[in-house]
Homo-oligomer: A and B are copies of this chain.
Amino acid sequence: MAEVRELKINPADMNAAELAQACADELFRRDDASQYLGMRLSDVAPGRATMTMVVQEFMLQGHKTCHGGYMFTLADSAFAFSCNTYNQATVAIGCSIDYVAPAFAGDLLTAVATEKSRSGRTGNYDVEIRNQEGALIAMFHGKSYRIRGEILPMENSDD
């Protein structure tokens, strides 16, 4: 029951940190894609998110290193969570990734997304992916675009 009550909290009553966490919890709950790959959202704050993922066997490509697509997906998820921390539905309109070093089966990858700018409808976010030894694996840049709608339902005060 606790969860139900929590979901009824009015976003308008939250501070920025609470709002960021509530948005992330709601989006992660709905985000089959990130859950499917075993991603975990380890930290979130306004404009920031940290996600982890273990490289699994099925993520390896023909050269037997992690397919860039899965690394991109991890970074893209961290980016999505970081730009959706203001309860304004926001989508990616363009992203780039630069591969620095390969990742191997069993590696624990950590993606840290940081907001670099946000004004009008668009924003810019950087994500760095590092492995369990702290080595830089990939750098990602995402451009966000705010669409209509909220992430959390705005409830009436008499609910």
Which residue of the partner chain B has the closest CB to A65?
Answer: B91
A28 and B95 within 8 A (CB): no
Contact status of A62 and B116, CB under 8 A, knowing A72-B95, A145-B122: no
How far does the alpha carbon of A126 sit from the alpha carbon of B140 in the complex, in Å? 11
A100 and B80 within 8 A (CB): no
A100 and B73 within 8 A (CB): no
A29 contact set on B, CB distance < 8 A: 62
B72 and A67 within 8 A (CB): no
B139 and A139 within 8 A (CB): no
A60 and B33 within 8 A (CB): yes
A67 and B63 within 8 A (CB): no
B93 and A95 within 8 A (CB): no
B31 and A61 within 8 A (CB): yes
B119 and A31 within 8 A (CB): no
Interface residues of A in 120-151 (CB under 8 A from B): 121-122, 124, 126, 136, 139, 141, 143, 145, 151
B62 and A80 within 8 A (CB): yes
Q: Mark A67-106, 1 if CB is under 8 A from B, else 0.
A: 1111011101100100010000101111111111100000
How far does the alpha carbon of A120 sit from the alpha carbon of B27 in the complex, in Å? 24
How far does the alpha carbon of A29 sit from the alpha carbon of B61 in the complex, in Å? 10
> How far, in Å, is A21 (CB) from chain B's closest CB?
15
> How far, in Å, is A114 (CB) from chain B's closest CB?
11
How far does the alpha carbon of A101 sit from the alpha carbon of B91 in the complex, in Å? 11
How far does the alpha carbon of A98 sit from the alpha carbon of B125 in the complex, in Å? 10
A5 touches B (CB below 8 Å): no
